Structure 1
């Protein structure tokens, strides 16, 4: 056993330039090194020292023992402070999506056959309303926790604390636009391969109806219905934009989230990563009138 350990340590030293801590091995026992043990070892521990109170001050590999891995920055493997761990809308956002990471560009590029996404006038729109238990509480989670959803197109669930600025994005992850849904916004999603004409029709209607909106591509949509509107607990998926259905959905769904307040986006911290175009006021920032220009039409 001792020979095997020495061989492994020697190989590690050659390949990674890291010294292994000498092991004290006794036959038929797994007793830990006693607290009062004194040794002259001056190298690095691998993977961690046998005791929490070890006095080693050198570098650790792959990280210091007894470290809470969830509090490590996923990109830089750096210990985060309590304020950094949560969310400021700028640092460590790569846990969900980093627009500066070219490896994530597939989120907003059409890599499929566009002909599969062509509009079909005979395909009806699909509107869904989900039952949300009255006792359900919408939670925000800091960036030391990953957020996943059990459905490709979530309409409620956990989200990040810092809301995104209203407008159009090169790509906005669900963890961010769900924050907007909880505050009463309407989100427009479109598959990157969706028909450009239909995308423009829907975004023009949404921009004319509501200040509190988000527009972003999404691979969660199917070729049959590659454009959609999403609100808290509701969704409308379409192959062809039906203006009447769209306006009705926006009027009935806007300003309905559990965290809705007349005072929105006044936080000094805001998420703007990947923002292409900021939303413009229609009536006022409180959207006192939704789709008012459609009245009487």
Structure 2
């Protein structure tokens, strides 16, 4: 019995000695020189943990989302996103095409997950009104282009997002922009080339979308007054993402937008 124990011990010692003679990457613990410490990455992720969203919102962090890294996960900086390459006549406003209002029933207990920039985010709807999005939301205002993975987070905070196809009628675009900008502070405006030629204009709020061929000020103001500020998270705090921001939003009534479209009268939006 004693002899067997001695032989076993010698075998274990020989195996350990063999490990010491192997290349460094097989014997270092927990990682070799120059390798990223996976334990540290886990620790950083835990610091970003949020019970409701998985990842905490509004935390600028290069290991997750700082508004600068891996932006190709949402879009490839392609000018087709914001430039018209088609015949604009296909997108002309038509008075016989009525607006379409879509409503999605979102359970009160629903909490949209946040994903870091190492993961892609896809949506089932062409114009999503809720869903997984990035931890950093957009600074309020008008953009040359802003991907939906950003403005969806703004919707969650009660914003109204104005979308327009790059080929939409310029007069209609200008009119809709003026109304939105004078209705509320919490707005985002961006081109969106997935809109149809029949209805190349849209307004989106949390759970609601309005698609239009042409602008009816009454319809637009009614949508904003009914559906703005209805996101599950009540905050006017501005975002952290501002890539391609053209014009930052101005306060209309106050930061909380207590009065929506205050300059709207029976004669329309006062443009001054």
Q: TM-score, normalised by structure 1?
A: 0.70
1:97 aligned to 2:75? yes
1:281 aligned to 2:251? yes
- 1:119-134 aligned within 5 A: 119-134=93-108
* Number of the residue aligned with 1:86: 64
Which runs of 5 or more residues in structure 2 are unaligned? 1-14, 36-40, 42-59, 268-272
* Number of the residue aligned with 2:57: none
Return the alpha-carbon distance in structure 1 between the equivalents of residues 80 and 225 of structure 2. Answer: 33
Which runs of 5 or more residues in structure 1 are unaligned? 1-33, 43-50, 61-67, 69-81
* Number of the residue aligned with 1:160: 134
- The question of whether the paired residues in 1 share the 8 Å contact of 2:69 and 2:117 is answered with no
Number of aligned positions between the proteins: 231
Cα offset, 1:139, TM superposition? 1.8
1:196 aligned to 2:151? no
Q: Which has the higher contact order (CA 8 A, sep 6+)?
A: 2
**C-alpha distance after superposition, 1:205-255 (max 9, x if no partner):** 001111110000001200000000000000000001111110000001111
**C-alpha distance after superposition, 1:21-54 (max 9, x if no partner):** xxxxxxxxxxxxx9958999x9xxxxxxxx9737
Q: TM-score, normalised by structure 2?
A: 0.76
* Number of the residue aligned with 1:137: 111
- The question of whether the paired residues in 2 share the 8 Å contact of 1:138 and 1:258 is answered with no
106-115 or 82-91, which moves further after superposition? 82-91
Return the alpha-carbon distance in structure 1 between the equivalents of residues 152 and 71 of structure 2. Answer: 15
| 3-state SS, counterpart of residue 62 of structure 2 | helix
1:210 aligned to 2:180? no
After TM superposition, where is structure 1 displaced by more than 4 Å over at least 4 residues in a row? 34-40, 54-60
| 3-state SS, counterpart of residue 236 of structure 1 | strand
- 1:47-66 aligned within 5 A: 53=26
1:183 aligned to 2:157? yes
| 3-state SS, counterpart of residue 80 of structure 2 | helix
